[in-house]
Structure 1
Amino acid sequence: MTLIKELKKKDQPKQGMLENVMKQFDSASKLVGLNENIKKILSVTNNELIIHFPVRMDNGDVEIFKGYRVQHNNALGAYKGGLRYHPTIDIDAVKALAMWMTWKTSLAGLPYGGAKGGIQLDPKKYSTSELERITRRFAYALGENIGPEHDIPAPDVNTNAQTMAWIADTYMSTKSPSERSKNQHVVTGKPIGSGGLEGRDRATGYGVFLTIKYWAANKNVSLKDKTFIVQGFGNVGYWAAYFMEQEGAKLVGVQDAYGTIKNEKGIPVEALLDYSKANGGSIVGFDQAQDMDKDDFFGLACDICIPAALGNQITKENANDIKAFLVAEGANGPTTVEAEKILLEKGIDVIPDILCNSGGVICSYFEWLQNRNGELWELEEVLVKLDKKLKEAFRKVTETSEAKGIDMRSAAYVIAIERIERAYVQRGIFP
């Protein structure tokens, strides 16, 4: 990149995720003809919690952490949304993510609202024992702001099943012995041995793959021998790539927090996973691919692009570089409003995040039901149920898109917002 281009890039203010989601909501509200009073309610969050809490480190020093939990809306049911550990997390980002969760759960037809949270930290800088103490102290500080019928966290960026097990154990330990077993479903995404659901680990990535498969079937396109790139090789990116490869598609480019690699002849997914695990989570230096400049990633020749990392990755600066005919949003908010306009004008379809990556929250609902009812579901049963529920949501989005002559994201928002609006109209608003 030349110095002039670099200076121009720095001069341009970066659009935040909150601004992005508000633009999407405003646009969809006009399409729906949303009642102005209900629009006022949905434009703001119900509750925003910022917590500063101390934790003793392994060396005996005390460090102060900042944690967040934002509850956007619960018109359809308990608040639901993940917890992420990342140094860039702030209140605006959490508010945006909480709003997206409201639309996502509504679109999926779940009895949930939307929430999100996390801690401002880089987990790589802390030991496992430190992360456990940080997590437990945060869960304790959240107190009754979470609960199995009130607000149900789940894993997100840099958190996992172990994180959820620590939170569940901490929360249950605050209850009387007779009440502890009734609170196991305070979080979802737990380890199998601690009430977790078979298949929850792959649910989001599998859902990304399924929506691509539905899209391909709708367009009479075969995925066999199609090429794809994945940004983010964590849980979502890996599983999406795994199932795409199983379908006969070829991975030709990957980007993670450490670097970017490519191989037009194909990158073996399992071999890359093994290398990443042995290399501290990094894909850099994988011997079956070539390292490349990170700024050139979205310009790689491919058929399908799967952004499965963080928000605001596809922008007006790089949208024109994309050569794929489909963008499947594995991450939350990876495409800015301006970038999407460019993609659609180029004839590139976009499967929106609130549909594409909703497999995770759908299976979180299954886990919540399993715990609540004292049941155990097998993997095959879980995947069949996920396929059925996600296919129905995809069908509604494509039918609405075609009937109204609007893009898939607008259609998804219309369906989600109309369902919430009906709930308010039927119940009324407490004076």
Structure 2
Amino acid sequence: MLTQELKKKEQPKQGMLENVMKQFNSASEMVGLNKNIKKILSVTNNELIIHFPVRMDNGDVEIFKGYRVQHNNALGPYKGGLRYHPTIDIDAVKALAMWMTWKTSLAGLPYGGAKGGIQIDPKKYSTAELERITRRFAYALGDNIGPEHDIPAPDVNTNAQTMAWIADTYMSTKTPSERSKNQHVVTGKPIGSGGLEGRDRATGFGVYLTIKYWAEHKNISLKDKTFIVQGFGNVGYWAAHFLEQDGAKLVGVQDAYGSISNAQGITVEELLNYSKANQGSIVGYSGASNIDKADFFGLDCDICVPAALGNQITKENASKIKAFLIAEGANGPTTVEAEKLLLDRGIEIIPDILCNSGGVIGSYFEWLQNRNGELWELDEILIKLDKKLKEAFKKVLQTATARNLDMRSAAYVIAIERIEKAYVQRGIFP
């Protein structure tokens, strides 16, 4: 039932690829992108599909399907997460890899874009099985990943433990003298294994920061503003946590199991504790009422934070949204058709490649920390993240104002122009 529910929640993945291509083509026209560079950026550099066997706890062997798509590396090594999800396919990964290219470029990082994962429902497997699946996938990827070539990170249904298994597997294929130089093959690792303090909250903290910057720009106080969050995983929880600390009130949450609401407010930490004790589900939480999932986006609120999967806000439900701001914690949660309807109604959108870029910025800090043999403290990291994200946000606002664009278009213009400049300066081999 859970798998069926997850499949219902996400639209066909071809729609995600169509979305990112429509966004790219629109921005390309705005900047007058060189036609030859447009050809390069319209396709991925490499697409890897791997079928690999793994022995289960009962002795049976299952065959799994894994993906790694490397979109572009004009600005530096490929960078992007690995997600474990039953609906993942090549088109979804291609779309996500392209979004990563724009995201890292917009943030001013020395990275390109990639994405990957395994077509799997991880809830169906034991921890020991997930470890074997992960290690076998990492081994199959081989030198298609590497600390100066392609650096994976956590994404949907993967975490620090997943990254630790990948790092250990990758390093075990190297000579003893090489192993210490390859710790940064992945980011998002446990702190004891070279991870970054605060990496767990970087994406959600970044979502909160972009909302705060937007509110400051509009001279709006977040105190007593109401918000809803779709997805109560790592990103949704931390975004809600920091918004609540700033005086905002959580009034609705949706996850893969169901939807809840309480106009008087939902205590974020209480909901987190309940979810942990309820196998990750928010359904049945006594501090809120269960509602139909179709009614979630229509809840009365000021701010909507979609932090789950792609294609969640569509032309079918966009008219229900009452929020004045949508902050995209997920990648590609709003379809192109839905965005037009929302903008026409005066609803503003902080686009995914800006809003949730705190995660990849945090990954960059971890990569630097490992590469340089340094250790950074949490306060220092959060200050650095705030500074880096604020720079990107200001550039988007300035471009949006100067060119009379919405925030997504402005973000794309900045990202694409930076990549175009790199190609123009370097030339195209041969």
**Contact 2:14–2:92 (Cα < 8 Å) also in 1:** no
SS in structure 1 opposite 2:196?
A: coil
Matched, 1:37 2:36: yes
1:292 partnered with 2:286? no
Amino acid at match of 1:271: E
Helix, strand or coil: the match of 2:394? Answer: helix
SS at match of 2:182: helix
Partner Cα distance (1:408, 1:13) in 2: 26
Q: CA deviation at 1:16?
A: 1.3
Specify the alignment match of 2:400 in structure 1.
Answer: 401
1:7-406 pair list within 5 angstroms: 16-406=15-405
Q: Secondary structure of 1:350's partner?
A: strand
Letter in structure 1 aligned against 2:119: Q
Quote the residue 1:6 is aligned against: none
Amino acid at match of 2:160: A
> Counterpart of 1:16 in 2: which secondary structure?
helix
Amino acid at match of 1:343: L
Distance 1:69 1:179 in 2: 24
Give the alignment's TM-score, normalised by structure 1: 0.97
Kindly, what percent of the aligned residue pairs are identical?
87
For these two proteins, the number of residue pairs brought into alignment is: 421
Counterpart of 2:268, as a letter, is V
Native 8 Å contact 2:396 2:410 kept in 1: yes
Secondary structure of residue in 2 paired with 1:87: coil
SS of 1:182's partner is coil
* TM-score normalised by the chain length of structure 2: 0.97
Contact 2:153 2:187 (8 Å CA) reproduced: yes
Distance in 1 of aligned mates of 2:233 and 2:135 = 24
Contact 2:13 2:92 in 1 (8 A): no
Q: Secondary structure at the match of 1:418?
A: helix
Structure 1 alignment gaps of length 5 or more:
1-8
Shift of 1:13: 8.2
For residue 234 of structure 1, report the CA deviation from its aligned partner: 0.1
Aligned amino acid, residue 336 of structure 1? T
2:305·2:329 contact (CA, 8 Å) conserved in 1? yes
Q: Given residue 359 of structure 1, which amino acid in structure 2 is its aligned partner?
A: G
Q: Shift in Å at residue 371 of structure 1? A: 0.1
Within 2, Cα distance between the matches of 1:79 and 1:296? 39
Which residue identity does 1:412 align to in structure 2?
Answer: A
> Aligned with 1:281: secondary structure?
coil
1:86 Cα offset (Å): 0.0
Q: Distance in 1 between matches of 2:176 and 2:196?
A: 24
Show CA shifts across 1:271-291 (max 9, x none).
000000000000000000000
Question: How far apart, CA to CA, are the structure 2 residues paired with 1:362 and 1:386?
Answer: 7
Cα deviations across residues 320-345 of structure 1 (Å, max 9, x unaligned)? Answer: 10000000000000000000000000
Runs of 4+ in 1 over 3 A off after TM superposition: 12-15
Structure 2 match to 1:410: 409
The separation in 2 between residues aligned to 1:337 and 1:62, in whole angstroms, is 42
